[in-house]
């Protein structure tokens, strides 16, 4: 295990060492860049102002997919690249890239027609080079209704079944961070790098603030990489590059909207936007919306801005699923939780989100910084490979000597890949399945905690499979520094528990205080931050009903 003291050691190295690469931003892109660069032999530092994956990278639809709808936009290159990365993740992180059957129904007088749907899925399989997980087939209307009996039957013409993959987005980012650490990178959360620097010989000296300790210090590096996602414009200070959009998801009880183990693709009756209805254990996830970020016509978004669901988003998604699944009859009171994130879309200067590509962009500026923005969770590894290739060219121009290894990440397994050897424990089947699926080959470390103290095998929520040992593991081995880190991204009761994890927040704070040597004041602060975050996620309930957002079809 890494140990709760990992952060102090990393912080000391940040001040003492000189780095080839300073990566700012610990989301999917930044984590993948740090991992790629470190495995090639570069000296790397990764700094994140909050928790790893605390923004967009933990607020996605939690899919590893090619993006079937991007075919409609003619974005074949993106789909091909995404499907290639899906295949790689199936090999290098099978515990985090889990095949799931998708059901896409077709209705009379609605897009897409059964013929277009069949052709689209056929092209999708062709771009995947017919490699697993393909298994697509055309379905008659009676087969669609048999597989998803709550679907609207009026006008149902048939459908298409195909396979894509689900993931735990926050954990996928975390395992990239952990592998970067294993490869020698210095990674630190709650360190904010300031968007200015000074030169010192061949190095840049960046100012940084430790948001945990409250002090300021400097980091020396040859090259700074801006991987701050939707906050790229505010960090770079240059001309705007992004058109950030807000994506909102709802979590409801699986009994109120059963998926029968399949993901279902539906369309909004209001604007035709595609929405996923996704199984998540005892819960169902509905999403996503796409609206302009409220401040996008003025200043770019800042990390401290509130990113949340609004009542109009909740109403829109409930309207969509109630139209698609008439027996559900969902009401706002059925919503267990919401989560929302900003997409860092590259702005092409066009009016429609449909024309706003999920492709990424890489550029450098007059100060010698390297910037990356856009892209998808699925393509985080290939984006990182491109960035590191570009970074090495720039570093060579700045005097970097010595041989470097070629890119290692195309076939390098993530930490949880491989066979697990868990201790023989008397755990309920759903708990055992959850632990194996979440931790993969690292499950033996979690089960070892239970073997030492059987009380750690108790459920944290009577409806869910998470257990107490996971709280301790999050702190000791999964780099969690705050109550919110544990309960939103490592053991996500904030999303899936009806109590949002508030009933175990005190216990979590006690563990953090013991493991990290906190004062009572510091413990109370972390607890307050978590309760505040949960309150913010519920603010949509007090919004005006029927508010109008700037929503466009995409």
- Could you tell me if 273 and 335 lie in one domain? yes
pLDDT of 550 > 80? The answer is no
Domain membership flag for residue 415: no
For residue 310, what are the domain limits?
Answer: 78-167+243-344
pLDDT of 365 > 50? The answer is yes
- Could you tell me if 264 and 159 lie in one domain? yes
Domain membership flag for residue 424: no
Helix, strand or coil, per DSSP, at residue 254: coil
pLDDT of residue 12: 94
Domain membership flag for residue 512: yes
pLDDT of 151 > 90? The answer is yes
- Could you tell me if 310 and 254 lie in one domain? yes
Res. 554 pLDDT band, cuts 50 70 90 = very low
* CA atoms of 5 and 167, how far apart (whole Å): 29
- Could you tell me if 275 and 231 lie in one domain? no
- Could you tell me if 162 and 208 lie in one domain? no
Q: The domain spanning residue 511 has which CATH number?
A: 1.10.8.870
Share of the chain above pLDDT 90, in %: 81
pLDDT of residue 551: 42
Question: What is the total count of domains within the chain?
Answer: 3
Domain boundary among 344, 369, 387: 344
* CA atoms of 41 and 64, how far apart (whole Å): 28
Domain membership flag for residue 352: no
Dihedral sign from CA coordinates of 29, 304, 275, 264: positive
Res. 352 pLDDT band, cuts 50 70 90 = very low
Res. 524 pLDDT band, cuts 50 70 90 = very high
Domain membership flag for residue 553: no
pLDDT of 425 > 90? The answer is no
* CA atoms of 512 and 402, how far apart (whole Å): 42
pLDDT of residue 135: 85
Domain membership flag for residue 1: no
- Could you tell me if 292 and 279 lie in one domain? yes
Domain membership flag for residue 250: yes
Q: The domain spanning residue 130 has which CATH number?
A: 3.30.9.10
pLDDT of residue 193: 96
- Could you tell me if 444 and 520 lie in one domain? yes
* CA atoms of 475 and 479, how far apart (whole Å): 6
pLDDT of 364 > 80? The answer is yes
pLDDT of residue 545: 64
pLDDT single digits (tens) 427-454? 999 999 999 999 999 999 999 999 999 9
pLDDT single digits (tens) 26-78? 999 999 999 999 999 999 999 999 999 999 999 999 999 998 888 888 889 99
Contact partners, residue 291, CB within 8 Å, separation at least 6: 245, 246, 313, 549, 550, 551, 552
Pinpoint the alpha helices (H) of 161-279. 169-182, 232-236
pLDDT of residue 527: 98
Res. 356 pLDDT band, cuts 50 70 90 = low
| Tally of CA atoms within 13 A in the half-sphere of 552 that contains its CB | 11
Res. 293 pLDDT band, cuts 50 70 90 = confident
* Mean pLDDT along residues 507-533: 97
- Could you tell me if 39 and 147 lie in one domain? no
pLDDT of 496 > 70? The answer is yes
Contact 246, 342 (CB under 8 A): yes
- Could you tell me if 434 and 529 lie in one domain? yes
pLDDT single digits (tens) 210-262? 999 999 999 999 999 999 999 998 888 777 888 899 999 999 999 999 999 99
pLDDT of residue 498: 98
* Mean pLDDT along residues 77-95: 95
pLDDT of 549 > 70? The answer is no
Contact 358, 68 (CB under 8 A): no
Domain membership flag for residue 262: yes
Mean pLDDT of the chain: 92
- Could you tell me if 445 and 321 lie in one domain? no
pLDDT of residue 355: 46
pLDDT of residue 298: 64
- Could you tell me if 281 and 234 lie in one domain? no
Share of the chain above pLDDT 70, in %: 95
pLDDT of residue 525: 98
pLDDT of residue 358: 72
Indicate the angle between helix axes 380-397 and 28-40, nearest 10 degrees. Answer: 50
Strand pairing partners for 266? 275
- Could you tell me if 249 and 329 lie in one domain? yes
Q: The domain spanning residue 393 has which CATH number?
A: 3.50.50.60
pLDDT of residue 269: 96
């Amino acid at each position: 295990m890494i140990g709760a003291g990992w952060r102090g050691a990393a912080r000391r190295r940040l001040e003492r060492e000189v780095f080839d690469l300073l990566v700012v931003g610990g989301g999917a892109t930044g984590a993948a860049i740090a991992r790629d660069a470190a495995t090639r032999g570069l000296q790397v530092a990764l700094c994140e102002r909050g928790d790893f994956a605390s923004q967009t990278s933990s607020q996605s639809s939690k899919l590893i997919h090619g993006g079937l709808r991007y075919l409609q936009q003619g974005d074949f290159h993106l789909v091909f690249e995404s499907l290639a990365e899906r295949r790689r993740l199936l090999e290098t992180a099978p515990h985090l890239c889990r095949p799931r059957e998708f059901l896409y129904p077709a209705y009379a007088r609605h897009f897409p027609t059964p013929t277009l749907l069949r052709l689209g899925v056929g092209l999708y399989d062709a771009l995947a080079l017919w490699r697993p997980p393909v298994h697509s087939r055309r379905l008659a209307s009676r087969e669609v209704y048999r597989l998803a009996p709550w679907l609207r039957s009026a006008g149902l013409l048939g459908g298409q079944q195909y396979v894509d993959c689900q993931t735990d987005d926050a954990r996928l980012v975390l395992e990239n961070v952990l592998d970067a650490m294993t490869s020698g990178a210095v990674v630190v959360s709650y360190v904010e790098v300031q968007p200015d620097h000074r030169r010192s010989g061949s190095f840049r000296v960046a100012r940084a603030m430790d948001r945990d300790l409250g002090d300021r210090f400097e980091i020396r590096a040859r090259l700074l990489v801006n991987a701050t996602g939707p906050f790229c414009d505010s960090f770079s200070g240059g001309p705007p590059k992004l058109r950030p959009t807000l994506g909102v998801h709802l979590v409801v009880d699986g009994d109120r909207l059963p998926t029968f183990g399949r993901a279902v693709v539906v369309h909004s009756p209001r604007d035709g936007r595609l929405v996923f209805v996704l199984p998540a254990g005892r819960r169902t996830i509905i999403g996503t919306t796409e609206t302009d970020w409220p401040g996008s016509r003025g200043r770019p978004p800042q990390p401290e801005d509130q990113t949340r669901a609004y009542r109009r988003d909740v109403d829109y998604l409930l309207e969509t699923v109630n139209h698609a699944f008439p027996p559900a009859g969902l009401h706002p009171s059925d919503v267990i939780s919401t989560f929302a994130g900003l997409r860092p879309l590259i702005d092409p200067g066009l009016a429609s989100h449909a024309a706003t590509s999920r492709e990424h962009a890489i550029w450098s500026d007059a100060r010698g910084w390297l910037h990356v923005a856009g892209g998808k969770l699925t393509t985080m590894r290939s984006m990182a490979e491109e960035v590191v290739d570009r970074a090495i060219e720039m570093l060579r121009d700045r005097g970097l000597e010595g041989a470097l290894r070629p890119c290692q990440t195309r076939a390098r397994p993530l930490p949880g890949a491989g066979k697990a050897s868990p201790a023989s424990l008397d755990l309920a089947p759903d708990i055992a399945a959850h632990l194996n699926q979440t931790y993969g080959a690292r499950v033996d470390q979690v089960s070892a905690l239970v073997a030492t103290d059987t009380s750690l095998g108790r459920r944290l929520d009577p409806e869910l499979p998470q257990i107490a040992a996971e709280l301790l593991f999050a702190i000791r081995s999964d780099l969690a520094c705050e109550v919110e880190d544990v309960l939103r991204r490592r053991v996500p009761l904030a999303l899936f528990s009806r109590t949002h994890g508030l009933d175990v927040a005190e216990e979590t704070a006690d563990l953090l205080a013991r493991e990290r040597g906190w004062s009572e004041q510091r413990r109370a602060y972390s607890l307050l931050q978590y309760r505040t975050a949960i309150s913010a996620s519920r603010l949509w309930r007090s919004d005006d009903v029927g508010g109008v957002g700037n929503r466009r079809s995409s």
